[in-house]
Chains A and B, each alone.
Chain A
Amino acid sequence: MIKIEDLHKSYPIGKDSLHVLKGIDLHIKEGEFVSIMGSSGSGKSTLLNIVGLLDIHDRGNYYLNGQLIKNLNEKKAAILRNKFLGFVFQSFNLIAYKTALENVALPLYYKGMARKERLKIALDYLEKVGLKEWANHLPSELSGGQKQRVAIARALVTNPKVVLADEPTGALDSTTTDSVMDLLKAINDEGMTVFVITHEEEVAAQTKRIVRLKDGVIISDALTKVAKAV
């Protein structure tokens, strides 16, 4: 599903440049539940941004769903994001003036789906994350855990190949963290590839594979107990 070969990325800082990713090799197969762990500055967010087509790499190859990602313009990137990827952010990133339902339906709007149809599908996904009753509430009227569940529903609504979650539990307390992780697990159980970035061991422990990143290189890549149990 995601195949990365010798990926490099550096950011210019003034005259110098900061080498963030120093040759990453990673292969994630369909249906995997992977977490990327690392302290801040390890390059994990950069990796996710490149995988999520929000940023471009300098060197190396990146295949998404078998397709080599190269020389993407914004338009193509937008279409690929819409088609293959679902995003879950630490700060939820819901549009404040749209209701939960409208937020979930928005990716379908950019897909060009008719309003009635997309609202119906969005409602199905809200039901799936247990927030059907909250469909017409604004994000400001929802708790943090509820917001993140709306964001997950939004990530799922286009039926993507991969769900990318950037610190999905970073802004949540332990109880809601568990409920969000349970939701991600349930999604993974249905066959969805889930790619989580986190620095919390407890969160990573609930995934099936942990990739540890330090200073731009992978220092370990191992299956967890959860995976072994299955």
Chain B
Amino acid sequence: MKFLFDSDTWQEIYGSIRKNKVRTSITIIGVLWGIFLLVVLLGSARGLENSFNKLFGNFATNSVFVWTQSTDTPFKGFQEGRRFTLNMNDIAALKSEYADEIRLLAPRNQTNNLIIKDFKSGSFKVSGDYPILDQIQKKQLLYGRFLNQNDINTNAKVTVISEDMYKQLFEIDAFPIGQYLKINSISYKVIGVYKPSSTIDFDGDCAYIPFTTYRKVYNTADNVDWMMITANEGTDIEQMERDVLLTLKGLHKVHPEDERAFGSVNLGKEIGKVTGFITGMQFLTWFVGIATLVAGVFAIGNILLITVKERTKEIGIRRAIGATPKSIRQQIVLESVFLTTVAGMLGVVLGSFVLFVIDMAFGQGEDATLINPTVNIPIILIAFVTLVVLGTLIGLIPAHMATVVKPIEALREE
């Protein structure tokens, strides 16, 4: 190992690779490309994973949405095809029956209405909601506040509108809070402006008003269009979904095996599919990255072999003037290791730089498609060590080739 720390060894290697610029750069590019791809692919996969996480991040992912459709089985004297609606009794029943499982339960009523502000108007969704909606689906408020319990209790005629609605209905730079709009000819005070989520959003541009106000204004009595349920941590969300539906079927005299009466979406299940996709993609990334890396190392071995052939005469000269086979082998293996190491470092640096550029281009702002595209240091180190080990092993082949040729034959080579 002493030769490793001998400055002369490195002088020789430096001399030989500096004077063979073309082959040195080609060799370096081969490996550089491998590790570069690995870094960029892994980083991008990570960025995509992060952005998927963020996509679901402002939504409670263990949520189930439930609404009614029409029955598909006759039951208890009712014919099939019966339509029915959820009501506040269901909400109360579910809350008491599943007190342990359900964390949040938001009944919702929604309709579309013309909304007028002075001389401007537009047709938008109007939603009657409870303040807990903000906990299920976080609202990013630009101005003011979201609905609160006091608004519910007092049936306040207040509304929280989206940024686009604000831009459409208000003069530029007008301060929206405290202004009044007319929804269905009734005046509401604007108490907040929110920015709709750029990712998962079921509401779009929507004017939120208190659930109780909605009930009075639209005369919906106890009816509930649909509900969002968020489970507590550790609850089996699919089991809860089945239980809740069964309870509701009982309450509404629906056949227990009726498939159509209730519609429901389990957000957790949908996310599971995407997560599976990401896992598959990461596997693919690793596979492609490592395969490219190995290909790069083989390229080094290949080029070194050609090099050894090219340098047969030089090696012959060196041996004629006293180089031992061992010293020739050492030099070639060390050249291989040195080239892989330098190429690896350059690849990591270049890959990181490209990730940085990707981050600048796609990773900034709300709509980022790749967030924090990074690669872990341990992964880089593992890739690096693999590369150097493979570089050493592959260097042994040309090193051996260099020494099996007799010096006399090497010298004869023209």
A residues engaging B (CB < 8 A)? 49, 52, 54-55, 74-75, 78-79, 81-83, 87, 89, 93-98, 102, 106-107, 109-111, 114-115, 154, 158
Contacts and interface: CB of A to CB of B under 8 A. Distances in A.
Contact of A74 (B8, B20, B325): B325
B16 A93 contact: no
A106 B327 CA distance: 13
Given A54-B320, A78-B322, A95-B314, 18 more contacts: A54-B406, A74-B324, A78-B324, A78-B325, A79-B324, A81-B320, A82-B322, A93-B320, A93-B411, A95-B317, A97-B20, A106-B318, A107-B321, A109-B12, A110-B322, A114-B8, A115-B11, A158-B321
B317 A93 contact: yes
B322 A107 contact: yes
Which 3 A/B pairs are nearest by Cβ-Cβ distance?
Answer: A82-B322, A97-B19, A110-B322
Contacts of A158: 321-322
Nearest to A92: B317
B77 interface: no
Nearest to A114: B8
A127 to B, nearest CB: 20
B130 to A, nearest CB: 80
Interface string B259-301: 0000000000000000000000000000000000000000000
A163 B8 CA distance: 26
A110 to B, nearest CB: 4
B33 to A, nearest CB: 26
17 contacts: A52-B320, A74-B319, A74-B403, A75-B324, A78-B323, A79-B322, A81-B321, A93-B317, A95-B318, A97-B19, A98-B15, A102-B15, A106-B321, A107-B322, A110-B321, A115-B7, A158-B322
B50 to A, nearest CB: 49
Interface string B1-26: 00000011001100110111000000
A115 B15 CA distance: 14
A115 B8 contact: yes
B4 to A, nearest CB: 15
B408 interface: yes
Interface string B375-414: 0000000000000000000000000000100111001000
Interface in B319-345: 319-327
B313 interface: yes
B407 A54 contact: yes
Tell me the interface secondary structure of chain B in the complex: helix
A110 B317 contact: no
Nearest to B326: A75
Most A Cβ at <10 Å: residue of B316, B324, B403? B324
Tell me the interface secondary structure of chain A in the complex: helix
Interface of B: 7-8, 11-12, 15-16, 18-20, 313-314, 316-327, 403, 406-408, 411
B11 A97 contact: no
Given A93-B411, A97-B15, A78 B314 contact: no
B165 to A, nearest CB: 73
A95 B15 CA distance: 11
Nearest to A82: B322
A54 B411 contact: yes
Nearest to A76: B324
A96 B322 CA distance: 18
A162 B20 CA distance: 33
Nearest to A86: B321
Contacts of A97: 15-16, 18-20
A114 B15 CA distance: 16
Nearest to A81: B322
Most B Cβ at <10 Å: residue of A78, A106, A111? A78
B322 A54 contact: no
B8 A109 contact: yes
A93 B327 CA distance: 19
A129 to B, nearest CB: 16
Nearest to A115: B8
Given A55-B406, A78-B319, A95-B317, A110 B19 contact: no
Nearest to A75: B324
Nearest to A107: B321
A110 B323 CA distance: 6
Given A78-B325, A110-B321, A55 B20 contact: no
B172 to A, nearest CB: 71
Contacts of B7: 115
B327 to A, nearest CB: 6
Contacts of B411: 54, 89, 93
Nearest to B407: A54
A40 to B, nearest CB: 14
A114 B317 CA distance: 21
A110 B318 contact: yes
A78 to B, nearest CB: 4
B279 to A, nearest CB: 51
A111 B11 CA distance: 15
A83 to B, nearest CB: 8
A95 B325 CA distance: 18
B16 A55 contact: no
A64 B14 CA distance: 36
Nearest to B319: A78
A52 B407 CA distance: 11
Nearest to B327: A110
A184 B113 CA distance: 110
Nearest to A93: B317
Contacts of A55: 406, 408
Most A Cβ at <10 Å: residue of B15, B313, B408? B408
B22 to A, nearest CB: 12
Contacts of B15: 97-98, 102
B322 A111 contact: yes
